[in-house]
């Protein structure tokens, strides 16, 4: 190496040095918080999508500050174990529904029974009461609820004359348990990932599921009827592990909360249209409606709510009645 070469190299090195060193220091001082997230619903399906949108928005708008690392869907953590995963901090964030963790907090199922919109529950103390219960029993913070205005239905592959399910075996989650039991059904509790196999093997003659999502995993091909009216409203929530949450910088908590509530509001605005288009798609796929009217309709809806609340008040005699007062219409 000639002297001239050496000098030039030295010059280049010193010229670059501050430029290299500064961002490195900068990055170390503000290294982003990484949060591990899991979803009870399979990637890309109806009830995974809002969570996926949220993670994308957080990672974009929180770049350099916070990064959500998605660890997987129901194959990574089985749906009925995700409550424990959030409680113990195996994951920091979760997308799940109350009926998948009734083992920890049976009260959370009251979300599906509420007839008040989320913005009202946030004002009347209902959300606060639920958040307190989730903190105590699940070590979780409730960030936002998706699924408002999406009803649940009973789907069948045989005719049904009225609100009497005797002789039928129905796939459920705890969402429908009290209601369908009361109407005389035999129940098979499964995660969403096992519904298709249960239908294919004729283990069940029908299943409970929301108005949306039956096309995601191919169930429409094994579905002949949808029973109307729908009942309850879907609740799929974003939860955070409370212990981890308390350690997060204020601006990170504010961003996660703001973007979650923003989606909650979008859901309230958009879901009615989504439901109508799903009904049309079901009709186009040859799924007929069994529409209960008059007394049958009245019994169907009355028992859905009566049995749902009875189950919660039995499991949680202290907090159940308080939630009912705040949540029911
Ligand atoms: O049917 C279910 O597994 C269930 O309870 C549910 C809840 C919310 C969204 C989708 C399904």
What is the secondary structure of 179-202 as a DSSP string? Answer: HHHHTT-EEEE--GGGHHHHHHTT
8 A C-beta contact, residue 155 and residue 214 = yes
Token couple for 25: 């220091």
Helix, strand, coil percentages in the chain from 3-state DSSP, rounded to 5: 55, 20, 30
Type and span of the H or E element at 140: strand 140-146
- Residue 151 pLDDT greater than 60, yes or no: yes
pLDDT value of residue 174: 97
Name the residue with higher pLDDT: 206 or 26.
Answer: 206
Mean pLDDT, residues 149-159 taken together: 98
Give the pLDDT mean for 287-304.
98
DSSP state of 107: G
Q: What is the pLDDT of residues 75-99, one digit of tens each?
A: 999 999 999 999 999 999 999 999 9
Q: Does the pLDDT at position 236 exceed 80? A: yes
Cα torsion angle, 28, 29, 30, 34, sign? positive
Res. 9: pLDDT tops 50: no
| Per-residue pLDDT, 329 | 86
Token output for 275: 């439901």
Would you state the pLDDT for residue 287? 98
pLDDT of residue 22 exceeding 80: no
| Protein residues whose CB sits closer than 6 Å to any atom of ligand 1 | 47, 97, 99, 173, 175, 192, 208-210, 234, 236
What is the pLDDT averaged over residues 210-226?
A: 98
Residues paired with residue 140 on neighbouring β-strands, in sequence order:
241
Distance of CA 200 to the CA centre of its chain: 26
Classify 229 as helix, strand or coil. Answer: strand
> Which single residue is written with the structure tokens 């959300």?
127
Residue 138: predicted pLDDT:
98
- Give, for ligand 1, the residue of 50, 188, 210 to mutate: max count of ligand atoms closer than 8 Å to Cβ: 210
Q: Whose alpha carbon is nearest atom 6 of ligand 1? A: 209
Q: Give backbone dihedrals phi and psi of 67, rounded to 5 degrees, phi first.
A: -135, 125
CB-based burial label for 50 (10 Å; 0-12, 13-18, 19+): buried
> What local confidence, expressed as pLDDT, does residue 29 receive?
54
Residue of 48, 108, 192 to mutate, ligand 1, most atoms within 8 A of C-beta: 192
What mean pLDDT is reported for the chain? 93
Is pLDDT of 27 > 60?
no
Q: Looking at the predicted structure, is the pLDDT value of residue 10 above 50? A: no
Residue 11 is predicted with a pLDDT of 43
Share of the chain above pLDDT 90, in %: 90
When pLDDT is averaged across residues 65-72 and rounded to a whole number, the result is 98
Specify the pLDDT at position 146: 98
Q: Ligand 1 mean position to 119 CA, how many Å?
A: 22
What's the pLDDT tens digit per position in 30-68? Answer: 689 999 999 999 999 999 999 999 999 999 999 999 999
Ligand 1 atom at shortest distance from the alpha carbon of 41: 10
- Bridge partners of residue 240, in order along the sequence: 93, 141
User: Is pLDDT above 50 for 28?
Assistant: no
């Amino acid at each position: 190496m000639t002297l001239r070469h050496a000098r030039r190299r030295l010059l280049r090195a010193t010229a670059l040095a501050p430029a290299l060193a500064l961002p490195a220091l900068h990055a170390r001082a503000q290294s982003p918080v990484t949060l591990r997230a899991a979803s009870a619903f399979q990637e890309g399906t109806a009830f995974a999508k809002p969570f996926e949108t949220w993670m994308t928005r957080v990672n974009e708008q929180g770049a350099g500050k916070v990064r959500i690392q998605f660890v997987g869907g129901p194959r990574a953590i089985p749906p009925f174990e995700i409550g424990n995963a959030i409680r113990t901090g195996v994951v920091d964030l979760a997308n799940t529904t109350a009926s998948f963790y009734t083992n920890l907090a049976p009260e959370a199922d009251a979300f599906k029974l509420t007839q008040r919109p989320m913005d009202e529950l946030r004002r009347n103390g209902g959300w606060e009461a639920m958040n307190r219960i989730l903190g105590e029993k699940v070590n979780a913070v409730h960030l936002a609820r998706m699924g408002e205005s999406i009803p649940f239905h009973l789907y069948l592959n045989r005719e049904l004359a009225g609100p009497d399910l005797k002789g039928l075996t129905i796939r459920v989650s705890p969402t429908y348990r009290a209601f369908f039991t009361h109407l005389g059904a035999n129940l098979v509790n499964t995660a969403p990932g096992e519904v298709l196999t249960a239908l294919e093997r004729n283990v069940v003659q029908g299943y409970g599921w929301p108005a949306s999502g039956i096309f995601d995993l191919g169930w429409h091909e094994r579905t002949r009827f949808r029973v109307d009216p729908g009942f309850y409203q879907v609740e799929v929530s974003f939860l955070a592990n409370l212990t981890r949450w308390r350690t997060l910088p204020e601006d990170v908590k504010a961003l996660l909360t703001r973007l979650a509530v923003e989606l909650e509001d979008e859901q309230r605005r958009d879901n009615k249209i989504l439901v109508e288009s799903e009904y049309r798609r079901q009709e186009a796929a040859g799924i007929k409606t069994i529409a209960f009217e008059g007394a049958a309709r009245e019994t169907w809806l009355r028992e859905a709510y009566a049995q749902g609340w009875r189950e919660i008040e039995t499991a949680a005699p202290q907090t159940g009645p308080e939630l009912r007062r705040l949540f029911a219409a």
